[in-house]
């Protein structure tokens, strides 16, 4: 079964949502709460150690019901089955989207093209876990007989962002291995990394699904050249590991077959941290923690695929985004984790969400006349409060936000967590409630301001409020909960893509720039720039003056 291909704006529920928006658009969050004393309870979902509060949104139950109707009319139920059953829902690349198979129970069955893929996943995982154990325990030695103390992950996009974000997020669970990530093609990036490395004790993991990515191969080649200035060719096998689907290219690069951790074609780059792409995570936190990360994601998969839409975390949160995006005309969405460990979650989700749903053509190949993927941005709280929250509180733009926080800190013994949590709750409260003229006047009066001063200051100090947010409140930052959290965002991407009638799992939009960069690269040594536009031509001329 292929996905159904109906544009959402032709559906009955869409039209009803348009009139629902007209009815509700002037209504204030405070009014919703005043009308329904059980709103916080009714508009929240409890699942394992997650408490999802979506009550601070500009909608009521009638909106939620219509959004669910929209999901149903879009064929979401059937689409979820197609996704989990390994159908080739990534039609434009003729691929299945089966990263969910990587986190299923090792005794379950996941069929793809008539074959159960789980035994092969188990086999590869066993190899990965055994390798990680050897490196962590010091059994795996470098060319001079010393154990490995530093791991460098060479990759970009999905071969970098996921492992880097999770490794950082699980800092608390880390062992003694240092892990560094090199991604950019910028020579200064790789040189800064090399500067700090000891060739005798460093392990390099070249991660590239395609093994054709310019950035990754350039960095890998530069690092290999540097390495060979200190060691022999023979030593490569103790220091270079590859993760890829492209065995031929890996061996041509000089990494032997036994040092390759394969990945499957049906794992998309931005959803690949669960596969062997997660090797650096496994090295940094050990196999047990990695397994728990997988278990958490697997638990979220089970929740998503089996729970009624009304109680389904990814479905409800995805639909709320659709509500703001397509009916309120909102363009961006902020992600604010109240955890410094998760400071790179927004950057990671930028790829996941924007590379997936940044599409302007529907599944029938026609241009789209409604909004699709949102612009994602954010930073960790409370830092973000001192940076861009001003605009969220008093600016002219409506910015729905996900606030993510953990009830229990990882380190005990200080009084910071109450302060962090009070900020976490206060911000969504302030965004919702605002501060009216009466309250501001009262405060200014008690601060001793004159009537004239109050009149002058009043408009600047009033907060309109009525700004929406979701609170994703989780017991503690554990590998399991992190896995579930990431998987919940993956499924939100899927739900939105289904509703917007787009293909979420290709990324043709990143190809043109790569092609043009190759053309320009070869033009640096030539004299004929006539085929370039005047602006680009001038830039190339300017650059050529600096080339040595």
Sole binder of ligand F6P in the list 90, 100, 159, 380 (CB under 6 A): 159
Q: What is the smallest separation between the CB atom of 507 and ligand F6P, expressed in angstroms?
A: 5
Sole binder of ligand F6P in the list 239, 270, 291, 359 (CB under 6 A): 270
- Alpha-carbon distance of 63 to 16, in angstroms, equals 9
With respect to ligand F6P, which residue has the nearer C-beta, 74 or 507?
Answer: 507
Sole binder of ligand F6P in the list 62, 92, 137, 210 (CB under 6 A): 210
With respect to ligand F6P, which residue has the nearer C-beta, 246 or 496?
Answer: 246
Structure tokens at 365: 């190949």
User: Which of 168, 200, 333, 355 is labelled catalytic?
Assistant: 355
CA 412 to centroid of chain Cα atoms: 29
With respect to ligand F6P, which residue has the nearer C-beta, 13 or 153?
Answer: 153
With respect to ligand F6P, which residue has the nearer C-beta, 158 or 314?
Answer: 158
- Alpha-carbon distance of 157 to 139, in angstroms, equals 31
- Alpha-carbon distance of 344 to 159, in angstroms, equals 15
User: Which of 195, 386, 411, 531 is labelled catalytic?
Assistant: 386
Q: Which residues of 311-339 are buried (b: 16+ CB within 10 A; e: fewer)?
A: ebbbbbbbbbbbbbbbbeebebbbbbbbb
6 is catalytic: no
| 213: contact with ligand F6P by CB under 6 A | yes
Structure tokens at 218: 């350039």
User: Which of 230, 310, 514, 544 is labelled catalytic?
Assistant: 514
DSSP secondary structure letter of residue 38: T
> Shortest CA distance to 320 belongs to which of 118, 532, 66?
66
| 510: contact with ligand F6P by CB under 6 A | yes
| 517: contact with ligand F6P by CB under 6 A | no
386 is catalytic: yes
Residue 206's beta-bridge partner residues? Answer: 154, 242
| 269: contact with ligand F6P by CB under 6 A | yes
- H helices within 138-256, ranges in order? 161-169, 187-194, 214-228, 236-239, 247-253
Helices 61-73 and 313-327: crossing angle in degrees, nearest 10, is 100
233 is catalytic: no
Which run of H or of E encompasses 521?
helix 511-523
With respect to ligand F6P, which residue has the nearer C-beta, 210 or 450?
Answer: 210
Question: Binding residues for ligand F6P, how many (CB under 6 A)?
Answer: 14
Sole binder of ligand F6P in the list 8, 157, 400, 434 (CB under 6 A): 157
> Shortest CA distance to 99 belongs to which of 120, 81, 122, 83?
83
| 156: contact with ligand F6P by CB under 6 A | yes
Q: What is the smallest separation between the CB atom of 263 and ligand F6P, expressed in angstroms?
A: 9
| 262: contact with ligand F6P by CB under 6 A | no
Q: Which residues of 87-110 are buried (b: 16+ CB within 10 A; e: fewer)?
A: bbbbeeeebbbbbbbbbbeeeeeb
Sole binder of ligand F6P in the list 56, 209, 491, 492 (CB under 6 A): 209
With respect to ligand F6P, which residue has the nearer C-beta, 208 or 292?
Answer: 208
**Annotated active-site positions, please?**
355, 386, 514
Binding residues vs ligand F6P (CB under 6 A): 156-159, 208-210, 213, 216, 269-270, 355, 507, 510
């Amino acid at each position: 079964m292929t996905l159904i291909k109906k544009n959402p704006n032709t559906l009955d529920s869409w039209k009803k949502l348009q009139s629902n928006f007209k009815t509700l658009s002037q209504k204030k969050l405070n009014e919703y709460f005043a009308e329904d004393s059980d709103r916080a309870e009714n508009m929240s979902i409890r699942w394992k150690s997650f408490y999802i509060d979506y009550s601070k949104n500009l909608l009521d139950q009638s909106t939620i019901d219509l959004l669910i109707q929209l999901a149903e009319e879009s064929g979401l139920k059937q689409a979820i089955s197609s996704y989990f059953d390994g159908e080739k829902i990534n039609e434009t690349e003729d691929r299945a989207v089966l990263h969910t198979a990587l986190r299923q129970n090792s005794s379950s069955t996941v069929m793809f093209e008539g074959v159960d893929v789980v035994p092969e996943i188990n086999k590869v995982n066993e190899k990965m876990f055994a390798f990680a154990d050897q490196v962590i325990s010091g059994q795996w030695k470098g060319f001079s007989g010393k154990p490995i103390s530093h791991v460098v992950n060479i990759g970009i996009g999905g071969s970098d962002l996921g492992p880097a974000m999770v490794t950082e997020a699980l800092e608390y669970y880390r062992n003694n291995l240092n892990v560094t990530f090199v991604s950019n093609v910028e020579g200064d990036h790789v040189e800064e990394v090399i500067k700090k490395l000891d060739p005798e004790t460093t392990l390099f993991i070249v991660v590239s699904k395609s093994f054709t990515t310019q950035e990754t191969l350039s960095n890998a080649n530069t690092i290999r050249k540097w390495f060979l200035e200190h060691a022999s060719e023979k030593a490569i096998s103790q220091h270079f590991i590859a993760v890829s689907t492209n065995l031929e290219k890996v061996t041509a690069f000089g990494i032997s077959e036994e040092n390759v951790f394969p990945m499957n074609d049906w794992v998309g780059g931005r959803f690949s941290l669960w596969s062997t792409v997660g090797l650096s995570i496994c090295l940094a936190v050990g196999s047990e923690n990695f397994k728990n990360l997988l278990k958490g994601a697997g638990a979220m998969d089970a929740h998503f695929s089996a729970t009624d839409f009304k109680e389904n975390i990814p479905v409800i949160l995805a639909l709320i985004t659709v509500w703001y995006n397509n009916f309120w005309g909102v363009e961006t969405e902020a992600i604010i984790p109240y955890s410094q460990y998760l400071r790179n979650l927004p950057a990671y989700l930028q790829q996941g969400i924007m590379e997936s749903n940044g599409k302007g053509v529907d599944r029938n190949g026609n241009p789209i006349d409604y909004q699709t993927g949102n612009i994602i941005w954010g930073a960790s709280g409370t830092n973000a409060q001192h940076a861009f929250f001003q605009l969220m509180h008093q600016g002219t733009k409506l910015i729905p936000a996900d606030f993510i926080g953990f009830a229990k800190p990882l380190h005990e013994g200080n009084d910071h967590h109450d302060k962090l949590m009070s900020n976490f709750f206060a911000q969504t409260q302030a965004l919702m409630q605002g501060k009216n003229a009466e309250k501001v006047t009262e405060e200014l009066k008690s601060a001793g301001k004159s009537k004239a001063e109050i009149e002058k200051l009043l408009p600047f100090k009033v907060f309109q409020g009525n700004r929406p947010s979701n609170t994703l409140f989780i017991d503690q930052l554990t590998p399991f909960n992190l896995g579930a959290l990431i998987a919940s965002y993956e499924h939100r991407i899927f739900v939105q893509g289904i509703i917007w009638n787009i293909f979420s799992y290709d990324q043709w939009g990143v190809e043109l720039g790569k092609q043009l960069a190759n053309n320009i690269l070869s033009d640096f040594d030539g004299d004929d720039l006539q085929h370039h536009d005047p602006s680009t031509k001038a830039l190339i001329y300017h650059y050529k003056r600096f080339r040595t």
